[in-house]
Amino acid sequence: MDKYDWLLFLHVTGAFIFLGAAVVAWVFGIAAATRERPSEIALLLGLTRVAAIGFGIGTTLLLVFGIWLVVDVDQYKIGDGWILGALVLFVASIVIGAIGGSRDKRTILLAQRLAGEGDLPSAELTAAARDARALAYNIASTLAGFGVLALMIFKPGAS
């Protein structure tokens, strides 16, 4: 394997870790939304921190090796439309995901408090765990992430 193969391998690995983290976050979030006991909701949403680690690792690999590829490969330029589009969607995915994640963090804190106060179901917690706005943010973030993947695969406008 030459340098290009390694750079591409590490860049693609970052993409899979990043999108895999999104799937992990979705699984735990959906599982939490189906529960009523605060301790279960707190546990499941707390496990999304594993996804946060994946987002960090994936983001680092994606950016470092993606930019290295652009610099190293003569046919790619940072100003290419598909690269700029991918960077914009990537930033959007992260920002929108952070907004959704902050809403989920408030839900975790509420669940932890209620778990410590008797672990009884709460309409407020159920509504927070099933928050339509957090869901919309998480959907938009995930779609933007897959949009990046589509641009990376198909490279529209590239020669």
- How far is 122 from 32, CA to CA, in rounded Å? 13
Q: What is the pLDDT of residues 65-75, one digit of tens each?
A: 999 999 999 99
- How far is 129 from 137, CA to CA, in rounded Å? 14
Q: What is the pLDDT of residue 157?
A: 85
Per-residue pLDDT of the chain (159 residues; tens, 9 = 90+): 999 999 999 999 999 999 999 999 999 999 999 999 999 999 999 998 889 999 999 999 999 999 999 999 999 999 999 999 999 999 999 999 999 889 999 999 999 999 999 999 999 999 999 999 998 998 999 999 999 999 999 999 887
Q: What is the pLDDT of residues 118-141, one digit of tens each?
A: 999 999 999 999 999 998 998 999
Q: What is the pLDDT of residue 158?
A: 83
Handedness of CA 3, 153, 95, 47 (dihedral sign): negative
Q: What is the pLDDT of residue 20?
A: 93
Location of structure tokens 């099933």: 130
Instruction: Please state whether the predicted TM-score (pTM) of the whole model is above 0.85.
Output: yes
Q: What is the pLDDT of residue 31?
A: 96
| DSSP label at residue 72 | H
Q: What is the pLDDT of residue 84?
A: 96
- DSSP H stretches of helix in the chain: 3-33, 38-46, 48-72, 81-116, 123-129, 132-154
Q: What's the token pair of residue 15?
A: 């993409």
